Structure 1
Amino acid sequence: MLIALPLLAIPVVIYNIVILFGAGGGGGMAAADDILRQPMFSIPMASGASWNVGVGDLILFLSLILLFFELLKSTSSQKVAIVNHALSMILFVVCLVEFLLIRGFATSTFFLVVTMVMLDVLAGFIVTIISARKDLDFGGA
């Protein structure tokens, strides 16, 4: 049943921990941006420039990787996939409420995470509908 949990809940939980505990208990918008953009480490590039990587960048990177695996999971036609779609929809609603109502969540980083969760929801339902239609077409022949 663990496979039914949406993987994109991981970056959402990490973002919540970083913002709610790292910004002094849900500090303001400026505090959230500072936490997300503060460089954790720097990578020297061949051009001589250095690439500064912050917490927000790592959250987005993790989200993209997990979105890939969520899209792969959405192609499954098992019964657990429907539970996954429902939990993904609940996660999207929670993320949308946080984005709209809680200070510190109205950042570009969280908006992109919310967008990835929404794409997971849409892809899951679209793939399920298309595969169900194909099952009906083959069943009628």
Structure 2
Amino acid sequence: MARFFPFMLLAVVAYGVAVAAMGVPLSQELLNLRLPSGSVFTLTMSELLLAISTVVLFFEIMNATSAKSSSIFNHGLSLVLFIACGLIFLFVPGFGTGTFLIITLMSLVDVVAGYSISILTARRDMTFGNQE
């Protein structure tokens, strides 16, 4: 079941829960740390959502390397998610932000990488004639 699931949906849901449902501003500071250099590192909600999305994208790309037939279904669901993200970005209040645009672009990278990796894997695995 996990092979079918587009994990980028987790990033979209995290954005929806944090920003749209709970009303947390993207600029809200979540963490302040003084670094040994004397600089202060500040983590905002927007940066946290993008960090989570980047980690999720890594796992999606790792999932795309699977040569199983279920990966094609996963790529299709990822494409549906990308289209939904694009429509949500355009038409749903609270989602028309730079942060959500980057999450949408990450879902596009997931789609392109998934299909590209599948094609390259299939091409590499294809054999012709007698292989003795």
Q: What is the TM-score of this pair, normalised by structure 2?
A: 0.90
The structural deviation recorded for 1:139 is 3.8
Q: Which residue of 2 aligns with 1:104?
A: 94
One-letter code aligned to 2:59: F
Question: How many correspondences in the alignment?
Answer: 130
Aligned-pair Cα RMSD in Å: 1.5
Partners of 2:128 and 2:26 in 1: CA distance: 52
1:51 aligns with 2:60: no
Q: Which residue of 2 aligns with 1:15?
A: 15
2:64 alignment partner, one of 49, 64, 74: 74
Q: Deviations over 1:68-108 (max 9, x none)?
A: 11111111110111111011111101110011111211111
The structural deviation recorded for 1:43 is 1.4
Give the unaligned 5+ runs of structure 2: none
2:85 alignment partner, one of 82, 88, 95: 95
Partners of 2:94 and 2:31 in 1: CA distance: 23
The structural deviation recorded for 1:11 is 1.1
1:133 alignment partner, one of 113, 123, 126: 123
Partners of 1:20 and 1:69 in 2: CA distance: 25
Q: Hey, which bits of structure 1, 4+ residues long, moved more than 2 A? A: none
Give the unaligned 5+ runs of structure 1: 24-31
- Identity within the alignment, %: 33
The structural deviation recorded for 1:6 is 1.2
1:119 aligns with 2:109: yes
One-letter code aligned to 2:21: F
One-letter code aligned to 1:57: E
One-letter code aligned to 1:8: M
One-letter code aligned to 1:51: F
The structural deviation recorded for 1:118 is 0.3
Question: Could you tell me whether the CA contact under 8 Å between 2:11 and 2:49 is conserved in 1?
Answer: yes
Question: Could you tell me whether the CA contact under 8 Å between 2:20 and 2:95 is conserved in 1?
Answer: no
